[in-house]
Amino acid sequence: MPEIVRTRVAIVGAGPAGLLLSHLLAAAGIDSIVIDSRTREQIEQTIRAGILEQGTVEVLDALDEFSRARTVGHRHDGIELRFAGAGHRIDFASLVGRGVWLYPQHEALKDLIAARIAAGADLRFGVTAQRVEGAASDRPRVFATGADGRALEIDADFVVGADGSHSVVRAAVTGSQTGGYFREYPFAWFGILCEAPPSATELIYSNSPNGFALISQRSATVQRMYFQCDPEVDPESYTEEQLWHELQSRVPGTTLNEGPIFQRDVLRFRSFVAHSLRTGRAALVGDAAHTVPPTGAKGMNLAVADVLVLERALRALLLENDERLIDAYHDTALHRIWKAQHFSWWMTSMLHVAPDASDFDRLRQLGELQTVVESEAGRRYLAEAYTGWPLEGRA
Ligand code: PHB
């Protein structure tokens, strides 16, 4: 016999989007259940990117003392673009009066999980969603299996797919598991975590003849760095010495502080937007709806922006029986999603060296970078997009 539970909103996926949505709904008096196939430890330990827009940090302030973004994270008021042997600072503070926070996503996830558990939320780990039925009806249902193999059915008023790029809910929304707009890139990022002091106070995005590198940070003693690599590369095929050589050769002008490398991973790049973000009483948010390459640092920020739009729409639908905002959800969310897709694609194509790039392509790219850094309008465009456009209902 399956366990059958009743809730107003069934949320599949305990990533930033699902947990934040559940938190905001609870504040509006709407109960939800969040399920995730992973364990809490797996969720809290998965290494993800680290930049939060100022607006995202302001949204996380709603967690009160549970959000450590402002205390453990670090505010950054600019980034450096490095190319053709020189560094150029994009000064966010003077250009747009806003900043970003370097605060790794898994730390934000720990905060969200702690806040939901403290609030007594129904949050279930190790529960795998199989499918959603009845999205066209008023009572959609999630069919899932618990860690012990027992069947679970969640009977809800609305189902939200916050279940990442391999979303199970997507099939119920778009009619297929994969339906969407895609772009693949002929490169990936080789990411490392190392024990060393920071090599720079702000992030360095470097376009070099050897390919792209990003020098990021985590703390006074741990650093995160990436370099452009072949997507098929085996992360174990490099010695530490080779990794330092790759990184160092791509940031001429800076001597990187080296130290033991204790984590390495290859991040594949993809741009994706689902054909549809909502059907009847099922909708997608975050990576289930779209993925972006990491160069623009938009992934988690875009998930938060989707959640704000959807949460307002669910409040209108479930508290006032007003369908206008849920009917508009697809278009409203896509407005920002496509802007962020463009920004992420633009940063990626401007900073990486494509394997088949001709001399013309390389020189044109340097011309593009010069155009951006030499013009206040160019720097401001980058600063506006990087720090984040105004969020729905919070402008
Ligand atoms: C990171 O620190 O992991 C990071 C920062 C900026 C990006 C991507 C990743 O654009």
Question: pLDDT tens across 227-249, in order?
Answer: 999 999 999 999 999 999 999 99
209-232 average pLDDT score:
96
CA-CA-CA-CA torsion for 365, 53, 109, 200, nearest 10 degrees?
Answer: 60
Percent of the chain beyond pLDDT 70? 99
Q: How far is the CA of 294 from the centre of ligand 1 (A)?
A: 7
Is residue 195 assigned to a domain? no
Q: Report the DSSP beta bridge partners of residue 151.
A: 145
Whether the pLDDT of residue 122 is over 90: the answer is: yes
Whether the pLDDT of residue 393 is over 80: the answer is: no
- From CA 328, how far away is CA 187, in angstroms rounded? 36
Ligand 1 contacts (CB < 6 A) are 49-51, 203, 214, 216, 224, 294-295, 297
27-45 average pLDDT score:
97
pTM comes to: 0.97
Task: Count how many domains the chain has.
Answer: 1
Percent of the chain beyond pLDDT 90? 96
- From CA 246, how far away is CA 251, in angstroms rounded? 9
Whether the pLDDT of residue 211 is over 90: the answer is: yes
Whether the pLDDT of residue 7 is over 70: the answer is: yes
Is residue 87 assigned to a domain? no
| Model pLDDT for residues 249-307, shown as the tens digit of each residue | 999 999 999 999 999 999 999 999 999 999 999 999 999 999 999 999 999 999 999 99
31 confidence band (pLDDT: 50, 70, 90): very high
| Model pLDDT for residues 129-187, shown as the tens digit of each residue | 999 999 999 999 999 999 899 999 999 999 999 999 999 999 999 988 778 999 999 99
294 is catalytic: yes
374-387 average pLDDT score:
98
- From CA 216, how far away is CA 203, in angstroms rounded? 5
Among the residue ranges 20-29, 46-55, 135-144, 297-306, the one predicted with the least confidence is 46-55
Write the single-letter amino acid at 88. Answer: H
Is residue 232 assigned to a domain? no
Tokens of 66: 């549970």
Ramachandran region of residue 37, left (φ > 0), alpha (ψ -120 to 50) or beta?
A: alpha
Tokens of 235: 């992360």
- Those residues whose C-beta lies under 8 Å from the C-beta of residue 243, and which sit 6 or more positions away, are 190, 192, 261, 264
75-87 average pLDDT score:
97
pLDDT of 49: 84
Is residue 84 assigned to a domain? no
Q: How far is the CA of 9 from the centre of ligand 1 (A)?
A: 32
Whether the pLDDT of residue 395 is over 90: the answer is: no
Give, rounded to a whole angstrom, the gap between the first and last alpha carbons of the chain: 49
Is residue 187 assigned to a domain? no
> Which numbered atom of ligand 1 lies nearest the CA of 216?
2
205 is catalytic: yes
394 confidence band (pLDDT: 50, 70, 90): low
176-201 average pLDDT score:
94
Choose, from 103, 185, 205, 226, the residue flagged as catalytic.
205
Q: How far is the CA of 306 from the centre of ligand 1 (A)?
A: 20
314-341 average pLDDT score:
98
Is residue 263 assigned to a domain? no
Per-residue 3-state assignment (H helix, E strand, C coil) for the chain: CCEEEECCEEEECCCHHHHHHHHHHHHCCCCEEEEECCCHHHHHHCCCCCEEEHHHHHHHHHHHHHCCHHHHCEEECEEEEEECCEEEEEEHHHHHCCCEEECCHHHHHHHHHHHHHHCCCEEEECCEEEEEECCCCCCCEEEEECCCCCEEEEECCEEEECCCCCCCCHHHHHCCCCCEEEEEEEEEEEEEEEECCCCCCCCEEEEECCEEEEEEECCCCEEEEEEEECCCCCHHHCCHHHHHHHHHHHCCCCCCCCCCEEEEEEEEEEEEEECCCEECCEEECHHHCEECCHHHCCHHHHHHHHHHHHHHHHHHHHHHCCCHHHHHHHHHHHHHHHHHHHHHHHHHHHHCCCCCCCHHHHHHHHHHHHHHHHCHHHHHHHHHHHHCCCCCCCC
- The boundaries of the domain holding residue 325 are 3-75+100-181+271-352
Residue nearest to atom 3 of ligand 1 (CA): 49
Is residue 61 assigned to a domain? yes
Q: Quick check: 105 and 44 in contact, CB under 8 A? A: no
> Which numbered atom of ligand 1 lies nearest the CA of 49?
3
Q: Please provide the average confidence, as pLDDT, over all residues in the chain.
A: 96
Residue nearest to atom 7 of ligand 1 (CA): 297
- 141-145 and 128-133: which strand pairing? antiparallel
Q: How far is the CA of 347 from the centre of ligand 1 (A)?
A: 12
pLDDT of 392: 79
- From CA 316, how far away is CA 336, in angstroms rounded? 21
CA-CA-CA-CA torsion for 357, 359, 363, 366, nearest 10 degrees?
Answer: 40
339 is catalytic: no
- From CA 330, how far away is CA 189, in angstroms rounded? 31
Q: For position 143, which CATH number holds?
A: 3.50.50.60
Is residue 261 assigned to a domain? no
